[in-house]
A and B are shown apart, each in its own frame.
Chain A
Amino acid sequence: MSICADDYVVIEPGDPVVAHAFVSTGKLSSGSVDRLGLDRNEIPDYQGALDRGEKFVLGLDTIAPGRLVPELEVVAVIVPEVGSLDKPQVTSMAAPQTMRHFAPSTVIQQSTHGRDSLRVMAQISRAVPGFRLGLTTDDQLNAAAVREVIESVRSR
């Protein structure tokens, strides 16, 4: 699976909607460092950052070599729900429901055109299907569920 960000992307509305990579870094907690099986000795100032209660910023190429791409087509919005289900649970969401999940936190972080951002997010919510994904504690199962959603959307 290719990635173009850990968190923030530049979204270009249109047909298709495109997500553009910006910074090539990702932010990890100590828990996510462990889950990804990264060598703590490879992470600069690991203990220092841990002591300060901070996250670690690593190059995405370190975490997923060769997976970073400059842009990706947005085919779906998937809203994860942290949980401990036996298996991942995928349910469809209507556009307004989808937008309610990602618009508030996005707009509040915008120091500029919140209204324009809202319009773009409304377009995205209408342009691509939205799903709620109930998670298990098994990262492999969760990742497989994301792949299945993407494949099912693409095959429509």
Chain B
Amino acid sequence: MSGWRVGPTVLPRDRPPSGINNQSAALDDSAAEAFVAAMFDHHLEAERRTGVVGRRSMIAGRRLELRSAGPSMLEALAGPLEHLPTADGEPNQLTVSLFDTTSSGVEPPPWPLALPEIVPGTRPLFRFQDDARYVTIDPVRGWTQVIDCDRSAAVFHLVTWGVVSSMLRRSGSRGPALSWSARVGPANRRSRSAARSRA
């Protein structure tokens, strides 16, 4: 038995009502195991379809690689990481894999638990974990994150990268100025509906 458990639902402080909602859903261990494995598999499938773009950086003396299925997500994220030195050729100490459904055509695996009803106007984050794996789901904005400490790896899925608009531009001698703003677009609304339908 791996001991999967549902964590408290967190409501970001900028989304009233703030605080922790202790509503929790039932979670089957085998379903959680299958979900985590499938998230990594689905990312590999997305990489197979779109190609992979990677960026290796050093942070706090550790080697981090961001891998993106297709270039769009990594291009937008690269700006804030440009100041980090490039990692040497030694193995990664953390690998973060990114994919989105719109550009890859790959859906994430179905959630292994029915999420509680989402109160309109809130943006709860649902979490479940065992001692080494941590899953966070944001059904409103449409992203899911899996962190596997034993594998020193994480995978992040976004329904559509189009919900995050990014602009990287040069402004003379002032250096790069990056702005992004997350918007709730059609895909997010679909995701919210999906969350309700799964609940």
Contact = CB atoms under 8 A, between A and B. Distances in A.
Interface of A: 10, 12, 18, 20-25, 42-45, 48-49, 52, 54, 56-59, 61-62, 65, 68, 70-71, 108, 111-113
A45 B169 CA distance: 12
A57 B181 contact: yes
Given A58-B178, A111-B127, 10 more contacts: A12-B60, A24-B82, A43-B179, A44-B169, A45-B167, A49-B179, A57-B180, A70-B84, A108-B20, A112-B147
Contacts of B183: 52
Interface string B111-155: 000000000000000010000001010000000010101000000
Interface residues of B, number: 33
B181 A10 contact: no
Interface of B: 10, 20, 59-61, 79-85, 127, 134, 136, 145, 147, 149, 165, 167, 169, 171, 173-183
Contacts of B182: 54
A44 B175 contact: no
Contacts, number: 83
Nearest to A53: B14
A52 B59 CA distance: 33
Contact of B175 (A52, A65, A111): A65
A21 B60 CA distance: 8
Contact of A111 (B61, B145, B177): B145
A48 B181 contact: yes
A24 B83 contact: yes
Contacts of A45: 165, 167, 179, 181
Contacts of A59: 79-80, 175-178
A65 B174 contact: yes
